[in-house]
Structure 1
Amino acid sequence: MKIKKLSAMLLCLSLALFVAACGNGGSKASDPAAEGATDTGKEPAAEQVVLKLSTWQTDAKAQWSKIIPEFEKKYPNIKVELDLLNEKGDSVASMQKLDLMAASNDQLDIVELPYTNYSQRADIGLLEPLDSFIEKDGYKYEDEYLVDTHVNGKIYALPSSMQRWFVIMNKAMLDEAGLPVPTDWTWKDFEDYAKKLTKGDGAEKRYGAYLHNWPDYFQLQLMSKPSDNTFLKSDGTSNAKDPLLKANLEMMKKMMYEDKSVNAYEDIISQKLAYRNQYFNRLAAMLPMGDWMVAESGGTDAIPATFLTAFAPLPKIEGESKHYSPVQPTYMAVAAKSKNKEAAYQFVRWYTSEGLEIGGRVFSGWAKSDTDKLVDTIVNSSKDPSKIDLESLKYTIKNTTPGTAPVPAKYADEAKNVVIPEAELYILNKQDIDKTIDSIDQKISEVVKNNQ
């Protein structure tokens, strides 16, 4: 722990020294008007600005090759070069590289950050506050974007894609079992569907659902809450004592070992099962997942779609009147060390409003986005739109209420990671549920304390 803290302190110190050394010099794009007209009396051409866009998202996922040229048409004096931080799109490895770049002489201008990585980078000075740019543009942040991105009272990023969760389902398997596409259902209904959709034995067995070994699956029922819907409460303290965490772990274990309607946990780990393979190879009928799977439901080059996928809202909690889903944005920011901050902000603002929709792959965090139109764009740009049930998709998007989404605490990933070994002990029958909840609560509380 001491080594970890020392490393963090050294990183913060190096970033602080670098930002201080950079100051505000060269923070704006060149203004040709300030240099005066040429001897011929004609206005000089705007100086070309070259920006780096540093992101973990590959072109296949984000469609940068479609988006960036459109920006450059609108702003011909700004050229944007894609800086893919990891060839495989690994966000964890990408953030490690980003931190090294921030403390070095590498060029950083535009930075895209995953959901749980934003506040930490804002807190240590890696990102430029955008409040003055927003004020100059003359709009109210809350009128333009669906989630709050304030950190320590300042806005360091604008939300780009807005991830929601739902359940994707093999429509032919539903029809075979005589089950309708759910429009109003609970987690108990989800368990019942999984049992009815399970078929066969051995290597050819089809499971009713697939629950992956991501921490998100340990908190699925928490995700159905309108607020305090993660392992941390909105105030940054442990949420492990919420009864829904206990209920969700019990549900997972029951489905794995009593109902046998989802893969056993040890098989997921030992066989390194992948959720895409399980679903698209017809080995699982249902899959709770984020909305990046809309476009993928039409198939990809790696895994073609061979059946119709239907969509249902994330099951609701017993007694709750609405279907909720967490909204997990990605963040687009201007690097504090950029020498062209105004130009970088122009891209950030453009991309997080009109630009993102050009890619036709993900949903937008822009409040003025036309969701129905965007759904059509995403579906029609998929490899095979005929494999996506548009009616159930539009119903699901329309009838899913976003839960509140405060900016995750800078230690959110650390808190999430301490849950995994304790939850696994329970699921693998090595620890009882009450001991598990107590241990998770204790370990998350220690993370919170160590970060205060």
Structure 2
Amino acid sequence: MRKIQTTLLASVFMSMSVLSACGSTGDNAGQSSSTAASSAASSSKPAQNITLKYYNWDNDVQAASTKKLIENFQTKNPNIKIEHISLVPNNSVESLKKMDVTMSSGEQVDIVLLPNIEEVTARAAQGVLAPLDDLYQKDNVKAEDEYYINPKFKGKYYATMNTSSDWFVVLNSDALKEANLPVPTFGWTWDDFRDYAKKLTKGDGNDKRYGAYFHSWGEYTNPIVYTDKKNPYLTAELKPQFDDPSFNYYFNLRRAMEKDDKSVKPLSDVIGAKLNYTNEFATGKAAMLMSATFILPNIADTAKYPHTFKTAVAPLPRSSKDAPTGLTNIGGNYSAIAATSKYKEQAYQFIRYMTTEQDARIELSGWKKGDSKSVIERLYGANKDLIDIPSLTLTLNDKQVKTSFSSEIAVSYGAQLKKVMENGFSKYMLDGVSAEDAQKWMVDEADKVIKQSAK
């Protein structure tokens, strides 16, 4: 992935400066989407009456959006039917396991959604994804002009960016008022985050409200390497960077918050009970949650996550008072074509439409010409009491927002290194080893992964 500059990030959210005016999708946005789809459609003559199978992990809200998108596509392309298959709703990890089995079994797979760039490159290396270069060229599409991140492996493109996800912190506004705390803004640190968590913790037993919640994903083991480094796992020389001092600092911070402050739910409970991060926040069991824009549809879904408090949004804390302000982790999910698909050109038509269409979207787009304003209006137009629009707009659109992440470091084993990081953190938190010993173990395991990949 290439480095995302501040000006680039600002462009995707520039329309959000007028979110409070509750604008709707403009004619130009619709025209851009239609033009992109028409351009893709003109790249080849569609086969007659074909069916494409599209696999993802949609929950009920996302499935409704996907259904509308598919209906719109099929209206414009009546000879192409899309069969939508949500493997394990709201669970990308288990869905990927099922998807891999399905792809290896010889069943029809045409289009797949992948949750991050590591999963894209891993499958590109396995040869189960089709390169997009010839399709882009035939459609006169320059990937870097269209999408913010363009996963490549050995010089070829393998996926289009479907959504763009900025990481931030969501906070319960009622809890903030109760503790007499302001909404944090750019400049606060992880030490400040710990202090907030202490002050927001309340009660005991089943009625306890923790000041913060940390999920079990790798992004929660050390967010600093996701914001401050070009790659969270590797140096520019493709050496493990699990010996970076930020791991020692953040590991100790997490243990202190759990063991000493008792301001976060124990990791053993998070893993053992397979907790849902949105549910922990929406039910008031945690007052703060580090998450990303993919949580916004869930916060808007009061049928599944009933709550009445307003959610405030703050930037990710910085690693120290000397660190740059505005650094964040920017992720997304990606649409790819299966190498075994018999209808690659038609599958390409659909993924181009899916990544550029705006009318059904409920997540911010990875397409540079996407209309973020309409997404927020679609999610919160009926009930603006659920989200603090000014803090959301500031967090996403401020000129300070940037990331250190770079596409220059792309390997097929990134998902394995992420697992090493997760396991090392678990050893530290659950087995009681020191941060130094956990780091040494992670470096040794990462070396084994790297050596194995070189064979």
Q: Secondary structure at the match of 1:368?
A: coil
Q: Amino acid of the residue matched to residue 347 of structure 2?
A: A
Query: Any conservation in 2 of the 1:181–1:310 contact (CA below 8 Å)?
Result: yes
| Distance across 2 between alignment mates of 1:236 and 1:358 | 42
Q: Amino acid of the residue matched to residue 103 of structure 2?
A: A
Tell which has more relative contact order, 1 or 2 (C-alpha 8 A, sep 6+).
2
Other-structure match for 1:43? none
**Residues 314 and 109 of structure 1, relative CA distance in 2, 3 Å threshold:** same
TM-superposed deviation, 1:236: 4.3
TM-superposed deviation, 1:80: 1.3
| Distance across 2 between alignment mates of 1:429 and 1:52 | 44
Query: Any conservation in 2 of the 1:54–1:83 contact (CA below 8 Å)?
Result: yes
Q: Secondary structure at the match of 1:325?
A: coil
TM-superposed deviation, 1:142: 1.0
Other-structure match for 1:274? 276
| Distance across 2 between alignment mates of 1:174 and 1:309 | 10
1:207 to 210, 219, 223: 210
Select between 190-199 and 55-64 the one with higher mean Cα deviation: 55-64
Q: Secondary structure at the match of 2:333?
A: strand
Give me the identity figure in percent. Answer: 35
Query: Any conservation in 2 of the 1:295–1:379 contact (CA below 8 Å)?
Result: no
Other-structure match for 1:112? 113
Provide TM-score, normalisation by structure 2: 0.82
Other-structure match for 1:175? 177
| Distance across 2 between alignment mates of 1:264 and 1:335 | 40
Q: Secondary structure at the match of 1:339?
A: coil
Q: Secondary structure at the match of 2:128?
A: coil
Equivalent positions of 1:174-323 (< 5 A) are 174-184=176-186, 185-225=188-228, 227-228=230-231, 230-233=232-235, 236-318=238-320, 319-323=322-326
TM-superposed deviation, 1:205: 2.3
Other-structure match for 1:9? none
| Distance across 1 between alignment mates of 2:266 and 2:85 | 40
**Residues 421 and 346 of structure 1, relative CA distance in 2, 3 Å threshold:** closer
| Distance across 2 between alignment mates of 1:51 and 1:429 | 47
Count of aligned pairs: 406
Provide TM-score, normalisation by structure 1: 0.83
Other-structure match for 1:35? none
The list of structure 1 runs, each at least 4 consecutive aligned residues, that deviate by more than 6 angstroms after superposition, is none
Q: Secondary structure at the match of 1:54?
A: strand
TM-superposed deviation, 1:322: 2.6
Q: Secondary structure at the match of 2:67?
A: helix
| Distance across 2 between alignment mates of 1:273 and 1:333 | 29
| Distance across 1 between alignment mates of 2:156 and 2:58 | 26
Select between 246-255 and 51-60 the one with higher mean Cα deviation: 51-60
Gap regions ≥5 residues in structure 1: 1-27, 33-45
Deviations 1:294-313, CA, capped at 9 Å, x for gaps = 12222342321221111011
Other-structure match for 2:37? none
Other-structure match for 2:393? 394
Q: Secondary structure at the match of 2:353?
A: helix
Select between 100-109 and 123-132 the one with higher mean Cα deviation: 100-109
**Residues 67 and 412 of structure 1, relative CA distance in 2, 3 Å threshold:** same
Query: Any conservation in 1 of the 2:55–2:112 contact (CA below 8 Å)?
Result: yes
After superposition, the CA RMSD in angstroms is 2.4
Q: Amino acid of the residue matched to residue 222 of structure 2?
A: Q
**Residues 57 and 234 of structure 1, relative CA distance in 2, 3 Å threshold:** farther
TM-superposed deviation, 1:68: 0.5
| Distance across 1 between alignment mates of 2:406 and 2:354 | 21
Deviations 1:122-169, CA, capped at 9 Å, x for gaps = 122212211112112223211111013111100111111122211010
Query: Any conservation in 2 of the 1:51–1:340 contact (CA below 8 Å)?
Result: yes
Other-structure match for 2:18? none
Equivalent positions of 1:42-61 (< 5 A) are 47-61=48-62
Equivalent positions of 1:318-337 (< 5 A) are 318=320, 319-337=322-340
| Distance across 2 between alignment mates of 1:202 and 1:111 | 43
Equivalent positions of 1:405-420 (< 5 A) are 405-406=406-407, 409-420=411-422
Equivalent positions of 1:34-49 (< 5 A) are 47-49=48-50
Q: Secondary structure at the match of 1:358?
A: coil
Other-structure match for 1:39? none
| Distance across 1 between alignment mates of 2:166 and 2:54 | 25
| Distance across 1 between alignment mates of 2:208 and 2:131 | 53
| Distance across 2 between alignment mates of 1:215 and 1:195 | 24
Query: Any conservation in 1 of the 2:162–2:355 contact (CA below 8 Å)?
Result: yes
2:353 to 350, 353, 373: 350
